[in-house]
Amino acid sequence: MGSLPRGISASRGAAVLGLSAWTSPVEIWLQIMEERKPGFCKGNGFEEPAPIEGAPLRWGLAFEGAIIYRAEIGANLKIDPDSYEKFFSHPDHDFITCHVDGLYEDGKTIHEGKTTSSFYFRDNFGEPGSDRVPKSYQIQVQHQMMTAGRPDSILSVLVFPDRVDSYEEAGLELDMVDPMIWSSVLVQMNHFHQYGIEADPDLQKMMIEAYLDFWEVHVLGETPPEPEKYSDVVKLVTDPQGTIVADEFIESLASEYHTINAESRSINKRKDQLKTKLVDYMRKNAEKSIEEDSVEKWILRDRTGKKLHQFDGKRFR
């Protein structure tokens, strides 16, 4: 987890396929091109990739050893210490690479450790013991298995009750945390889970085909992928200049954009007007309240008693 990636690594696979919730193909392409040719981005007027950092990464690295310890207990199988961060490249395509968190001593199973929040876990993971994990993690472990030549993987997940960003914002620093003690408490809270994932040859074949296309067209061809979002375009244009004449299709898109923009401003203005009138009506008629149990809030009902709106100092702010 702590080593730098190389080529299309396991952590980049989902983004290359357009399946990452965090990183786009353009962002991965910029990273790869800058690694292959330092100065490539600046020389071509692209935004240089930002360092990969942040609280989730820091906490994930800090808890690697604790997760390995818990993974061994959960699987009833040791992880080879010599396999931590072991590097592999695909036997047929050396630009497809991976670092594994570890290899179990059965010789066939990969260990992959993750930390996450209870919010993300609840919404994105399936029943522990199954193979229902987020698609980006599924791609990551399938990538590892096909690159390292292993048929099985166990994804071990340590779940924090809150987002680690919020811990740091509250003043809790990593040097104040003992990962082994924390992981022990989280295990007792049923916040540690494991998922067994088997190699899927059909999925791996599709992944390799997509990787080859990405590598040949975009990396070797030095051509960026199609932008998925506005921020992708911004990364590809750091010094815009000149005047461009639109074709008929782009003219229609520009017209649609301006129409939507105008409607949005109009809608937001009207919403603000309505919000003002509703709250002001409640303010002016507060002495006519018909409910005594409405504490620290106003409730607006229609003449049949149906609730229309509520003002508690939060909803309209």
The DSSP bridge pattern shows strands 298-301 and 307-311 to be: antiparallel
Whole-number Å distance between alpha carbons of 194 and 128: 6
User: Domain locations in the chain?
Assistant: 10-228, 248-311
Q: What is the pLDDT of residues 99-147, one digit of tens each?
A: 999 999 999 999 999 999 999 999 999 999 999 999 999 999 999 999 9
CA neighbor of 13 nearest in space, from 138, 113, 154: 138
Q: What is the pLDDT of residues 36-86, one digit of tens each?
A: 999 999 999 999 998 888 999 999 999 999 999 999 999 999 999 999 999
Average pLDDT over residues 200-229: 95
Asked whether residue 313 carries a pLDDT value surpassing 70, the answer given is no
Give the CATH fold of the 10-228 domain.
Lambda Exonuclease; Chain A (3.90.320)
Strand arrangement, sheet containing 152-160? 102-103, 109-117, 152-160, 192-198
Q: 55-62 and 64-75 helices cross at what angle (nearest 10)?
A: 50
Amino acid at 248: E
The DSSP output letter for 99 is E
Total number of residues shown for the chain: 317
**Structure token digits, residue 19:** 């399946």
Torsion of CA 36, 40, 42, 43, to 10 degrees: 160
Whole-number Å distance between alpha carbons of 206 and 143: 11
The DSSP bridge pattern shows strands 86-89 and 97-100 to be: antiparallel
CA neighbor of 302 nearest in space, from 275, 284, 278: 278
